[in-house]
Amino acid sequence: MVPFEELQELWQNQPAPLLSPLDVRGVPEQLRRFGRNQTWINSLKLVLISYMSIRLVAKLHWAPLAISGGVLLFGGLLLYLVLDWRNQIGLSRMDFSAPSVEFVNRAHQRLQQQLNPMRRLFWVFELSIGGGLNLMLISQPGPHPPGDYIGAAALPFFAYVVGERIRRFRFRRECGAVLEKVESLLKAMESQT
């Protein structure tokens, strides 16, 4: 059996593996550019949501049910917008100065969350918008066929599906390179450890 001192000396004298430097050039700027684009898009969404909500309520002659529906509709859309904007701002402000495996995992998760920002609050979003539209419909005088109420309830689901497809297309176009870079960083870091 080999004495412990020889094994210890052999262990201490072995060459340390050289870690290759990881290339993170361009990733922070790409994320900031994505964040700036999202800020413009979200600002436009906020203006459109505000304008449409006020116009809808005004068109319905400021009836109490219309105002309630408008508040519910505006609240649901604003909730979506705030959560989406918060995720995007957090992503664009990440510090890439000292990447670690945990940091790169977090960056990867944040990028993936951009595809579906309403995972947890999907039903709150859908019910508030569908409920708001139905309250606005009820406030209009005259009878309405059941199809109108079903259409008002189904509209948010349809809009969500269309919006998600647009988001996936834009995500692949705007963040595909960043996501690939983050995934390659993660693989490189995991292979070095």
Q: Global pTM? A: 0.67
Sign of the torsion formed by the C-alpha atoms of 125, 126, 128 and 132:
positive
Under DSSP, the state recorded for 96 is: -
Q: What integer pLDDT is reported at residue 16 of this predicted model? A: 60
Residue 144 lies in a domain: yes
Region of 108 on the Ramachandran plot (φ > 0 left; ψ -120 to 50 alpha; else beta) = alpha
Q: Please check whether residue 16 lies inside any domain of the structure.
A: no
List the domain range (segments joined by +) for residue 70.
27-192
Would 43 be classed as within a structural domain?
A: yes
Mean per-residue pLDDT, 26-49: 80
Q: For all residues of the chain together, what is the average pLDDT?
A: 80
Mean pLDDT computed over 91-95? 70
In the chain, how many domains are there?
1
- Residue 131 · residue 72 · CB < 8 Å: yes
Q: How far apart are CA 173 and CA 153, in angstroms?
A: 32
What CA–CA distance (Å, rounded) separates 170 from 154? Answer: 25
Instruction: Evaluate whether residue 31 is within a structural domain.
Output: yes
Helix-strand-coil split of the chain, %, nearest 5? 80, 0, 20
**Residue 35 falls within a domain, yes or no?**
yes
